[in-house]
Amino acid sequence: MDNPEPGRPLPEDLLHLARRQQERANEGRLTVYLGYAPGVGKTYAMLHDAQQWRQEGVEVLAGYVETHGRPETDALAARLETIPARRVEYQGIPLREMDLEAVLHRRPSVVLVDELAHTNAPDSRHRKRYQDILELLHAGISVCTTVNIQHIESLNDAMAQITGIRVNETVPDTFLDRADDIRLIDLSPEDLQVRLKAGKVYVKDMAQQAIDRYFSTGNLLALRQLALRYLAAATDTRMVNHMRTRAIPGPWPATERLVVGIRPGPMAERMVRAAYRLSARFSADWVVLCIDTQSHLSLTDQENAWITEAMDTAHKLGGRTVRYRGADVADELLQYAHRNNVTMIMLGKPQGIDILFSPVYSVMRRSRGIDIYLFDPKGEKVDVPLTQQLHVLTTWDYVLSMVMVATVTLLNYFLAGILSPANLLIIQLLPVVVSALFFRRGAALFTAVVSIIAFDFFFVDPYYTFSVEDWQYLIAFVGYVVVALVISHLATRIRHLLPQIWKSEAEVAAVTGLSRELVEADDRQLVLQILARHMQGLGRGSMAILGPTIAGLMILSGDMGYPLSEKERTIAQWAYDNGEPAGRGTDNLPAGIGHYVPMEAHGVVFGVLAFAFQDPDAVLTAENREIFQTMASLGALALERMK
């Protein structure tokens, strides 16, 4: 949009800046020391800066520092006050973890927390160390931390291609986006190799052969270039924001919107990471779209896990996710793209036999005005099982169609001397109609062709040949195909869309009904009762609303027998204190049996929705979690009105 007053910032840019400043007003600053490989000196640089801050009068503590026994680093760390690490034993192995409670209790101005991508021990408050740091920032404590480029989530696949080693511990890019300062700690590859040979680089859990390959000159050059590019992109984003909020003129591109279409498979999560990188390159909004067709109704546990992991990764990287049912993947994807002003579509490059059946070609032909990007996995080759590639030819609907055609053909064989050919033709049409009504379009077309061939072979003169002398039969055969396609098209759309419509209507009715009742409620207790009643309809289990009292969080409404043990109360209290979901199905204190969603409005938390489902893995999907969050927001707004 053009600025009506040149030289002055746009109102929306100022509003964005004001919101960001308000959100970060009471938070600590985040400084990230970024390196392209282990041993470049990130921890040393962080400790060196800490010494300077301490001389300037800033209270700096070491929350967790890993020196790897390097004398120079040990000497710097020894000059700082250190909060002792927690000792944890896991499967007989002693582990050191940052004592988050002790740091929060001590409340220094700045705390040093090494190894940002670290995964905490199972009994820790958070699954990942970056989540510990988030809590410290929310508490107003500034944090300095270190990370290598290979641990950034969106670059995981590129790292595997460069080094041949896939890193399991990653940090979402969205966490690094909030950093106030990213400092690249650089060292030439030649100097790093000298340090490695001198025994000054400690690489945990890597065999010598892997170390030699990882620290090859080619790998180090590629990793260094990637780190420089990442820092340049982050700096460019900050520069653009600075220009916008100060009305500095520049060429502003039109808004781009990217949709990445995924399906169950090992490439789904990789495509999400690639889509994030593409969206960052074009400063584009991005959406992960999954269309469930009839073949998706019987997904295996592994296929469901692939989709769930991809959706969760998209959420971590700041993308939106959309999943619904449809009859045809290409049709649904293009309809979504046109409705939502999509400018780019990313799809997986067809592999193997999938080339014959992939919807990619249909999307490419019909996506006029939309750029198409085909994703090809980097690094190790991803083999799609042959059975999955041949699913079109091996599914039960084709088998049943063959059985029906054979049965009707046999029946017509005995009726051939009794009924006229026209009546036999009508009977031969029955499997086509049944297949079109209940099976997929491909199965219906297959049934029509097989049925035509069978009728021609057995009942059309000359018999037991595939030739046709009467042209009227050719017209009938064409009618077979048309009937099969029309019936199949209509039946398939109804069969796929009705469950989605029912589900959507149920969700909309639940949220709309809750919103309407909350608007009419004029009493705090009535609001809680309404919320509790609607929560009961979300799944089998125990649900309650927790609120603050002098004795801590207590059950205010809902199931008074909710299993609020001391452990569950601690998890719920954390969700209340931090304004973030916690418990089962989250990365915050996931060891509990309950799922806790804070009721927050305008920075104030009024309580916590508590869900203890009988089958949490089935209920705590990404879509359902958004519904829980919506209910919590509606409840918070209603309670805010009662103040």
pLDDT at 218: 83
* pLDDT above 90: residue 640: no
Burial of 633 (0-12, 13-18, 19+ CB in 10 A): middle
Distance CA(457)–CA(465), nearest Å, equals 5
pLDDT at 211: 63
Residue range 398-404: mean pLDDT, rounded: 82
- Which positions ≥6 away from 265 have C-beta within 8 Å? 303, 306, 348, 382, 384, 388
Instruction: Answer whether 185's CB lies under 8 Å from 45's CB.
Output: yes
**DSSP-H helix ranges across 369-470:** 386-389, 391-394, 396-415, 421-438, 441-459
| Sequential DSSP letters for 576-607 | HHHTS-EETTSSBSTTSS-EEEEEEETTEEEE
Query: Which range among 89-98, 384-393, 450-459, 575-584 has the greatest average pLDDT?
Result: 575-584
pLDDT at 110: 94
Cis peptide before 462 (omega within 30 of 0): yes
Instruction: Answer whether 382's CB lies under 8 Å from 348's CB.
Output: no
- Encode 565-602: b = buried (16+ Cβ within 10 Å), e = exposed: eeebbebbbbbbebebbbbbbbbbbbebbbbbbbbbbe
Q: Which helix (H) or strand (E) holds 188?
A: none
- Token pair for residue 624? 């359902």
- Token pair for residue 536? 């009961």
- Which positions ≥6 away from 428 have C-beta within 8 Å? 408, 409, 412, 451, 454, 455, 459
In this structure, the number of other CB atoms found within 10 A of the CB of residue 397 comes to 18
- Token pair for residue 427? 């009977």
Taken as a whole, the chain contains a residue count of 643
pLDDT band at residue 503 using 50, 70 and 90 as cut-offs: low
pLDDT band at residue 1 using 50, 70 and 90 as cut-offs: very low
Q: What is the pLDDT of residues 604-639, one digit of tens each?
A: 889 999 999 888 877 777 767 878 888 888 888 888
Q: Which residues pair with 600 in a beta bridge?
A: 605
Distance CA(447)–CA(131), nearest Å, equals 56
- Encode 265-304: b = buried (16+ Cβ within 10 Å), e = exposed: bebbbbbbbbbbebbbebebbbbbbbbbbbebeeeeeebe
First to last CA, the chain: 40
- Which of 323, 254, 298 is closest to 1 using CA atoms? 254
- Unique residue bearing structure tokens 């944090």: 143
Instruction: Answer whether 271's CB lies under 8 Å from 346's CB.
Output: yes
Distance of CA 201 to the CA centre of its chain: 35
Query: Which range among 8-22, 100-114, 167-181, 394-408 has the greatest average pLDDT?
Result: 100-114
Query: Which range among 11-25, 138-152, 577-591 has the greatest average pLDDT?
Result: 138-152
Residue range 278-300: mean pLDDT, rounded: 76
* pLDDT above 70: residue 288: yes
What percentage of residues in the chain have a pLDDT greater than 70? 78
Residue range 402-427: mean pLDDT, rounded: 82
- Which of 319, 323, 330, 317 is closest to 304 using CA atoms? 323
- Which of 170, 282, 155 is closest to 228 using CA atoms? 155
What SS3 class is residue 348?
A: strand
Q: What is the pLDDT of residues 76-97, one digit of tens each?
A: 989 999 999 888 887 778 888 9
* pLDDT above 50: residue 118: yes
Q: Which helix (H) or strand (E) holds 371?
A: strand 371-375
Q: What is the pLDDT of residues 474-485, one digit of tens each?
A: 676 677 667 666
Entry pTM: 0.59
| Distance (Å) of CA 420 to CA 271, 423, 426, 464 | 58, 5, 10, 18
Distance CA(66)–CA(68), nearest Å, equals 6
- All domains of the chain in start order, with CATH: 11-245 (3.40.50.300), 257-381 (3.40.50.620), 395-492 (no CATH), 522-641 (3.30.450.40)
